[in-house]
Amino acid sequence: MIPRPTQPKVLLGVTGSIAAYKAVELARLLRPLCGLRVVLTQAGSHLVPVRALRQASGSPVWTSLFKGSNPIPVGTPSGTHPLTFVPHIEYAKGADLVLIAPASADLLAKLAFGIGDDLLSTLCLYAPCPIWVAPAMNARMWNHPAVQANVRTLRARGVVFLGPESGHLACGEVGDGRFAEPAEIAHQVGSFLGNRELWKGKRVVVTAGPTQEALDPVRVLTNRSSGKMGYALAQAALNRGAEVTLITGPVSIPAPVGAQVTAVKTAGEMAKAVLGGLARTDLLIMAAAVADFRPAKASAQKIKKTGRVLTVRLVPNRDILGEVLKKKRKGLVVMGFAAETRDVGRQARAKWARKPTDLLVANRVGEGAQGFESDRNELWVFKKGSVRPVHLGPDLKSRLAERLLELVDLKRAGDGR
């Protein structure tokens, strides 16, 4: 299939991971979204037939840095003469994205150390576009210190990781290392390709994760927020081309590549970070689970166990969202969140009446709910001008993030500056 001139181009690399057979389904899903080119490593060719990838992608599948190279005319200062076709240059030219799915531990090591000993790894050294990887391997391999060191190196260099997920692996074990679902990968690629210029020049601030309030030097008051919803929203805003600042409480997940990260612990620190950048913000997404209370006085020393009942006096924290709404200027869009354990619709509507944000996103948390510490969520979105809330999900938080941003109108953001 020859890509149309207006189509973005994606180069799909398939490595010798046990999940290589899933690349056939991924290629089929990507095909309508872009002009697709496929590179298959030698190890990968032992796990997935070239013919299957060719049929799914509708394009040739390249497997070698040297085999099949044809002399083509190449201009030089002394004139034009036939030189050997340079595949790692020609295949990557014009690519809008290099997607390696699945990516093996071997490929991650090559990318980290700049090794180019086959077509795919050499091509990545040349590619002038973003590189995304979807790792798939045994849990012990994924968690090996050498692999994790390579992952940190690549993330710092701007490589985007899709997964891996946790679950049942091909080897029969359970743990991290499972290949992300092809449909989810294709969704992320489609979002990036279709929206990457949509919010160019817009400034988005996202708060995420929990806050912590010190009880003593050892203990804190906090909550179960994982930060996954806020981080998914930050990634979705980046996919739309926005400049993103992520103000995050303590979490254990990697920040989206390209976001400017401000790490905070307490509600007071989060308030200072949010309010300090308000004048330069087009969209503020308050997805963090901010502690409503803090100890009136934190102990300077560890509180010892004595057998007696301990009473802790709590005082209210700053109402960050309330302060934002008091200072809200024309052109600033504010999205608030409400996490409830019961009567989600009634509780959220009451909060919305007290704090009339442009959008209020409500979800249920607590025992058996999908919100905290989960990759999935179910949302009810109250929006100005709408009589009834918009119901989203249940679905993956990454998809819900995209759908939430579709409800935001930033066309008039910045008015009144």
Residues with catalytic roles: 171
User: Token pair of 67, please?
Assistant: 């085999």
Under 8 Å between Cβ of 178 and 221: no
Cβ burial, residue 222 (10 Å; 0-12/13-18/19+): middle
Contacts of 411 (CB under 8 A, 6+ apart): none
User: How far, CA to CA in Å, does 366 sit from each of 193, 220, 381?
Assistant: 36, 20, 19
SS3 state of residue 213? strand
Under 8 Å between Cβ of 324 and 284: yes
Q: List, as own/partner pairs, every contact residues 116-119 make where C-beta atoms lie below 8 angstroms and the sequence separation is at least 24, other chains included.
A: 116/88, 118/41, 118/42, 118/64, 118/65, 119/39, 119/41, 119/62, 119/63, 119/64, 119/65, 119/87, 119/88, 119/91
Determine how β-strand 376-383 pairs with β-strand 390-396.
Answer: antiparallel
Q: List, as own/partner pairs, every contact residues 374-380 make where C-beta atoms lie below 8 angstroms and the sequence separation is at least 24, other chains included.
A: 374/226, 374/228, 375/165, 375/228, 377/229, 379/404, 380/344, 380/345, 380/348
Calpha distance 97→398 (Å, rounded): 19
Write down the residue that tokens 């809200």 correspond to. 328
What is the DSSP-derived secondary structure letter of residue 212? -
What is the greatest pairwise CA distance in the chain? 91
